[in-house]
Amino acid sequence: MAKSIYIAGAEPRSGKSVVALGLMERLIARGRRAGFFRPVVRAGEGADGLIRLMTARYGLAAPYEVMYGVTGRRAAELVVADRVDELRSEVLRKYKELEGACEVVLCVGTDYSGVAAPLEFEFNAAAANDLGCLVLPVIPGAGRVPEEILAAVQVMLESLKTHRCDCLATIVNGVAGDCLEEVRQAVTKAVGGAGPVYVLPDEPLLAKPTVGEVAEALGAESVNPHAEGMDREVADIKVAAMQLPHFLDYLQPGTLVITPRDRSDIALGTLMADASDTYPRVAGLLLTGDLPPVPQVWRLLDGLRASRVPVLSVRTDTFTTAMRVNAVQGAILPEHKRKIAAALALVESHMDLEAIEERAAVTRSEHVTPLMFEYELLRRARDNRRHIVLPEGTDERILRATEILLLRGVVDITLLGDPEEVRRRASELGLALEGAAIVDPLTSEWRDGFVRKYCELRKHKGVTEDAARDTIADVSYFGTMMVFEGKADGMVSGAAHTTQHTIRPAFEIIKTKPGRALVSSVFLMCLEDRVLVYGDCAVNPDPTAEQLAHIAVSSAETSRMFGIEPLVAMLSYSTGESGKGEDVERVREATAKARELSPDLKIEGPIQYDAAADAGVAEAKLPGSQVAGRATVFVFPDLNTGNNTYKAVQRTANAVAIGPVLQGLKKPVNDLSRGCTIPDIVNTVAITAIQAAGSQGQV
């Protein structure tokens, strides 16, 4: 089954909890190790009723604080401060704590009740994609005619499509009984083949609050705390202003009677009516205002311990109290046995839970958001912890990234530089770097051994010991030699040095893997809902056909390393056999050579970018291709094209570009841009650690 299902309401009061209860009942009954998660909850420990319901009914083992992302107060603070990415990151981190212990996680979205309610749909859509969920939209139908319901469904589905969410099914909830079939047919036609449609009828019981919920919402005092009727549903509200004989005629089953404290006749008459066989049972009695009660009547009420009618008291006036009671929304709580039974019956009789489970079992969300991808990078690096050397030990960005990496336990780190200067700089910045090793290339005990090894490696170039000593004093060469000699698993540099300064030592010392003709690079392009691989955009200016073939194979290996199925597009200005020319022939030849190097590789070329990326264009230009319209790895014909394209996509599509990631070396060395940010450094270090683990066969 899918790892996660995200139940998202289109509006407030959509009925998410009813659907969630039915699905969780099915999952638990099938023996699934199911978890429950809400991205945002009300502040206060144990405040979320739906989490309490799931925990109590199904014995979920996770602590309450693990079953939600953030409180509504925290979410509002981050939204107001324009830090929505940080909000999404916190939710994802908390979700991942729960996900690892579960076969499937049922997520229920926000309630459209917070400060940022207008932004909640966008947040829910983004959260569903961040968590890798299939979305189960719930559209409220209560009080709407079929045309209005259909319009609401179309808006919801179009919005989900715009946000590239994967829908599991569509649910319309609370539809009037005489409209069920009409709504089902109209919505099914509108949805087409996008998934099943389920229409649930209105069940008034589920929307009714209990007396206990009213008491909690109003902060009411219980006059007779021993009454057993706090779980009674409030089906009707009556404000008692007329005389008792006339008022009694207006009582309905489940009425909550609201009356001022000094109306002794109404209070006593309500209790007697409930005890009588000639009047309906009431839900409760709510006394209002600051007027002192008649002492004898108050004493009488206080002594009615055997009465089943809850009697509540508030200080607000009758009108204000009635308005507040009318605003109380019913929920399904663990103690609401009747509501739970009604909800389960509703779902089981109007939804094919088996079909939903089967559909979820074969459907996977293919969306990978930048946040999800970056989180996964850090997780994989942490799970296969490696030692990375950072030569630019006094650069502020390097130091700040180092602290983050150490705090999160992603890698072990060695910083190069004068230890006193590095520590002074870290102290000035207020950073805690106690876990990092600091090595000075000028005084290190490794220096003499590195000098001898470098002389041996470069003797064919006439390198002398004196020249080698000067060379090894350079932080890039010293760091590269650490990787070569096994003192570190990988190196990341370039924040304060050129690309050539960073990678030339790797060419001289580490060299390429067996069977690889050259070192190349890729950028991992994190788009809104997927990650693509672009190569080569940083190293080889004008590759030959053979070099392009090696770039393609290396890029495919890199994509696999990061969980991306390689579908390789060899890009050109022509698709298939439609064009001629030297550049097209070079790409065609490169494609053939790549197939020889890696016979199992799914590769297409020459192909234009639109045919590689867009399924509609692919069907017209290259029908039947395994790659066209679905490509994940894009190999550019030259550096000019690749570098400009990645930067254009990065800026115009608001993509996160991670890289360049060097490939083809025996051990990983990666370059940073001199304009890199702290997150860039963190991501590149994590990538380097994953590459190191992969080269040792541990990823």
pLDDT in tens, 331-390: 888 877 888 888 888 888 899 888 888 888 766 566 677 877 888 888 889 888 999 999
Q: Is 578 helix (H, G, I), strand (E, B) or coil?
A: coil
- Report pLDDT for 247: 87
Segment 548-554 mean pLDDT: 94
Determine which of 91-105, 140-154, 366-380, 383-397 has the lowest per-residue pLDDT on average: 366-380
pLDDT per residue over 174-210, tens digit each? 888 888 899 989 888 888 777 899 999 988 888 888 8
End-to-end Cα spacing for the chain: 25
CB atoms within 10 A of CB 147: 11
* pLDDT above 80 for 122: yes
At 116 the pLDDT is: 54
| DSSP structure class, residue 35 | E
Cα 571 from Cα 184, distance rounded (Å): 47
DSSP element (H, E) containing 526: strand 520-526
Residue 46 is predicted with a pLDDT of 66
So what's the pLDDT on residue 365? Answer: 61
Q: Is the pLDDT of residue 579 over 80?
A: no
Instruction: Extract the tokens encoding 489.
Output: 């698993």
Orientation of helix 582-597 relative to helix 545-561, angle to 10°: 50
The pLDDT value given to residue 514: 81
Q: So what's the pLDDT on residue 339?
A: 84
Mean local confidence (pLDDT), 1-5: 69
User: Which tokens is 485 given?
Assistant: 């000699």
pTM over 0.75: no
Give the CA distances from residue 661 to residues 160, 521, 533, 537, 561, in Å, rounded to whole numbers and listed in that order: 33, 5, 10, 10, 12
- CATH number for the domain formed by residue range(s) 209-329: 3.40.1390.20
* pLDDT for 115 beyond 50: no
pLDDT at 416: 95
All CATH 3.40.1390.20 domain ranges of the chain, comma separated, are 209-329
Tell me how many degrees the CA angle 561-564-569 measures, rounded to the nearest 5: 110
Parts of the chain belonging to CATH 3.40.50.10950? 370-511+677-689
Selected from 3.50.50.60, 3.40.50.11900, 1.10.10.10, 3.40.50.10950, the CATH number assigned to the domain covering 370-511+677-689 reads 3.40.50.10950
Look at residue 268 and give its three-state secondary structure: helix
Residue 324: the pLDDT is 92
97-107 mean pLDDT: 88
What architecture is the 515-664 domain classified under in CATH? 3-Layer(aba) Sandwich (3.40)
Segment 614-621 shows an average pLDDT of 89
Cα–chain-centroid distance for residue 280? 50
CATH number for the region 4-203+338-360 comes to 3.40.50.300
Distance CA 242, CA 534 (A): 78
Give the count of alpha carbons within 13 A of 392, CB side only.
22
Residue 115 near residue 12, CB atoms below 8 Å: no
Q: Rounded distance, CA 640 to CA 658, Å?
A: 19
Listed range (88-97, 263-272, 467-476) with the worst mean pLDDT: 263-272
- Which one, of 291, 285, 292, lies nearest residue 317 by Cα? 291
383-442 pLDDT, tens digit per residue, is 889 999 999 999 999 999 999 899 888 999 999 999 999 999 999 888 889 889 999 999
- At residue 572 the predicted structure's pLDDT band, cuts being 50, 70 and 90, is very high
Instruction: Give residue-wise pLDDT tens across range 640-668.
Output: 999 999 999 988 888 888 888 999 899 99
Per-residue model confidence (pLDDT) at position 694: 79
Q: What is the pLDDT of residue 1?
A: 43
Indicate if the pLDDT at residue 672 is higher than 70: yes
Contacts of residue 43, Cβ cutoff 8 Å, sequence gap at least 6: 71, 72, 73
The answer on pLDDT for 481 being more than 90 is yes
Cβ neighbour number for residue 498 with a 10 Å cutoff: 12
